[in-house]
Amino acid sequence: MIAVLGLVVGVVAGLLVRPEVPAVVEPYLPIAVVAALDAVFGGLRAMLDGIFDDKVFVVSFLSNVVVAALIVFLGDKLGVGAQLSTGVVVVLGIRIFSNAAAIRRHIFRA
Amino acid sequence: MSADDKPEGPQSPRREELPAEVPAGEPEAPAPPARDQPRLTGRQRLVKGLWPPRVTRPQLIVALLLFVLGLGLAIQVRSNNDSSALRGARQEDLVRILDELDDRTERLEEEKRGLEEQRTGLENSSDQAEEARKQTVERERQLGILAGTVAAQGPGITLAIEDKKEAIEADMLLDAIQELRAAGAEAIQVNDVRVVASTHLSDAGGGGVRVDGRKVGAPYLFKVIGKPQDLEPALNIPGGVVQTLEKEQATVTVTRSEKIVVSALRPAKQPDYARSSSE
């Protein structure tokens, strides 16, 4: 419950406060958000499986974000930033879908 | 957990070892019940996690991370929505857009320069045309004064000749006119006839003089525009016009005036043969 509240508060804060994102971080923000979403779906699935561990969740969340940003950064340096970020989004999207499928099976038994 | 939580089957060895970890990770969580009922369904676990709300370390940590996620999500969505498409654009796209804008600016600058040149040219030519028109008007006025087609005014003198004995002849008046011209008269009128370059005088029968074919009788009144200080002495010099006329018993009066109006006009006559030549 607290976790859901955290998400809601975050969204509201982002919409209300309108913080200025530093220009250095800006290109990595969308891909980091997608990576974090993947981590959250994975965590939700693990919780439904009964194997949720907060330490693992924290580490996976942070490492997902960092690795995604790193890949985009590397892609930008190599001149293939657009293609590489598309690739990252595709991979993360597939993972989100498979996790969502597992969650669905848990909740709806179908 | 998510990154490690690959969609492997429940047969994965990791999956077997992790449940044991969970109770260790959440000491405050209802670990004994979880151990008592290991076959708790996912739906029940979800409901239990949502309600009642428990302030536990995992919950707080997850809430913090989700807060960060929500923040990033909101920022990203907002920056995609409210600002221009440039905000989310990649570096190479921005460079391309910048190049295009530069090209466009250059092209527009060139166009602007051309149009400005054109405008300057047009302004110059219209200025020149206006100037030429002004000069033409001015010149027409000057020539009109000489040709007698327009009225003239300015300082000058009046010369009145009373001729009781009708002894004045055309050549005397012509002498007077010549004398006035030599003294710098610019416009001359005798009674109501304008005197111009082509004016001719002749004696009329029965006293009086014909000026340009029109009979002019005594008293003769000359209106002359010119420098009064030059005109008056020119008439009054010894043996000059005034003395000659007075010898004929005529009464001559010369009056200086600051404003003489020469209002008699002569119709402009188009020459039949002569044409203007630029050489």
Among B147, B163, B183, which residue terminates a domain?
Answer: B147
Token pair, residue B267, equals 């119709």
Q: What is the ipTM of this complex?
A: 0.84
Q: Is B277 among the domain residues?
A: no
Q: Is B47 among the domain residues?
A: yes
State phi, psi for A50 to the nearest 5 degrees: 80, 20
pLDDT, one tens digit per residue, over B123-178 is 999 999 999 999 999 998 888 888 888 888 899 999 888 887 777 888 888 888 88
Based on the domain organization, do B204 and B255 belong to the same domain? yes
Whether the CB of B94 is below 8 Å from some CB of chain A: the reply is no
**Parent domain of B23:** 13-82
pLDDT, one tens digit per residue, over A80-105 is 888 888 888 999 999 999 999 998 88
What are the residues facing B156 on neighbouring strands? B225, B257
Our count of domains for chain B comes to: 3
Q: Is B8 among the domain residues?
A: no
Q: For the whole model, what pTM was predicted?
A: 0.45
Distance of CA A89 to the CA centre of its chain: 10
Among B82, B103, B118, which residue terminates a domain?
Answer: B82
Nearest chain B residue to A51 by CA: give it: B19
Which residues have CB under 8 Å from B218's CB, separation 6+? B161, B162, B163, B164, B166, B168, B207, B208
B45 interaction partners in chain A (CB closer than 8 Å): 47-48, 50
Q: What pLDDT was estimated at residue B246?
A: 85
Buried b (16+ CB within 10 A) or exposed e, A33-58: bbbbbbbbbbbbbbbbbbbbbbebbb
Higher pLDDT, B5 or B100: B100
CATH number of the domain bearing residue B194: 3.30.70.1880
A7 interaction partners in chain B (CB closer than 8 Å): 63, 66-67, 69-70
In total, the C-beta contacts within 8 angstroms joining chain A to chain B are: 197
Q: Is A15 among the domain residues?
A: no
Nearest chain A residue to B93 by CA: give it: A82
pLDDT, one tens digit per residue, over B215-254 is 887 788 889 999 988 888 888 888 888 888 888 888 888 8
The full DSSP string for chain A is -HHHHHHHHHHHHHHHH-PPPPTTTGGGHHHHHHHHHHHHHHHHHHHHHT---HHHHHHHHHHHHHHHHHHHHHHHHHT-HHHHHHHHHHHHHHHHHHHHHHHHHHHH--
> Which of A48, A53, A65 should we substitute to test contact with B (largest number of B Cβ atoms within 10 Å)?
A53
**Parent domain of A81:** 23-108
Among B45, B61, B82, which residue terminates a domain?
Answer: B82
Q: Is B3 among the domain residues?
A: no
Give the minimum alpha-carbon distance from B103 to chain A in angstroms, rounded to a whole number: 24
Q: Is B271 among the domain residues?
A: no
Whether residues B75 and A19 touch (CB distance < 8 A) is answered with yes
Q: Is B6 among the domain residues?
A: no
Q: Is A10 among the domain residues?
A: no
Based on the domain organization, do B140 and B227 belong to the same domain? no
Q: Is A88 among the domain residues?
A: yes
